[in-house]
Amino acid sequence: MCGRYVSARKRQELLEEFTVQLDGTGEELAADYNVAPTKKVYAVLTRPAEPAAGEGGERAAEPVRQLRVLKWGLVPSWAKDPSVGSRMINARVETVAEKPSFRRAFAQRRCLLPADGYYEWYKTDKKNKQPYYLHPANGDVMAMAGLYEFWKDPGRAEDDPLKWLVTCTVITTTAEDGLGHIHDRMPVLIGRDRWDEWLDPRIKDKDELHALLAAGPPRGLAGRLVSTDVNSVRNNGPRLIEPEGAEEVLF
């Protein structure tokens, strides 16, 4: 699973990196070196803009790439209680197109979750685990494949700004060779050449979408041992990714 990651880039950096056309965040998130489930996170997504008026009346507008702030832990639109989101932080690539919690979002609400890197825990023995920090060796942004969903709170008034909750999940897959000895799962990483297609809500064919996910992550992922301080969500700051062992390129 992917249960912790690092998101330290500023909003403006992400707007430029992902060629975002609309800044829909409304807030600047602080650099977070211990992003955990239920936290607010940045997400890049593409949604239809408001219809634009043309000479012949209203015309359908092209989808617009946006940067949004979402809550990590997907809450399906049909959920009775939003607390289910804490159990839906990951969606397995093997079942994402069929599982009721994710299939509608997979068909039409896909996103990219920007990250500097992510953590996984290696079992050193039956009782202990050692955290690793995994990240692009060249410092590039990491784009994790995700899904997002809207949930309407039936207990709030229609004009309540908290009426709608927008949440997300990270899609995971079998770890690539070189990474599998640390953990058997990893987030699906979308290469820059596939961003447009993955974000395009007009693409709904499951085979085409699975082909995008199966293309494999960009090469050049590096990993290093880091402090067990990351185990606690109360700890944060750049010290969490400081090396406690030699760094090596794993994939």
Of the candidates 17, 28, 58, 120, the residue annotated as catalytic is 120
- Residue 122 burial by CB count (10 A; 0-12/13-18/19+): exposed, middle or buried? middle
Q: Which entry of 2, 111, 149, 168 is annotated as an active-site residue?
A: 2
CA distance 57 to 48: 17
Work out the number of other CB atoms within 10 angstroms of the CB of residue 240: 20
**Half-sphere exposure (CA, 13 Å, Cβ side) for 81?**
4
Catalytic residue check, 120: yes
CA separation for the pair 214, 93 (Å, rounded): 9
172: three-class secondary structure by DSSP: strand
Residues forming the active site: 2, 120
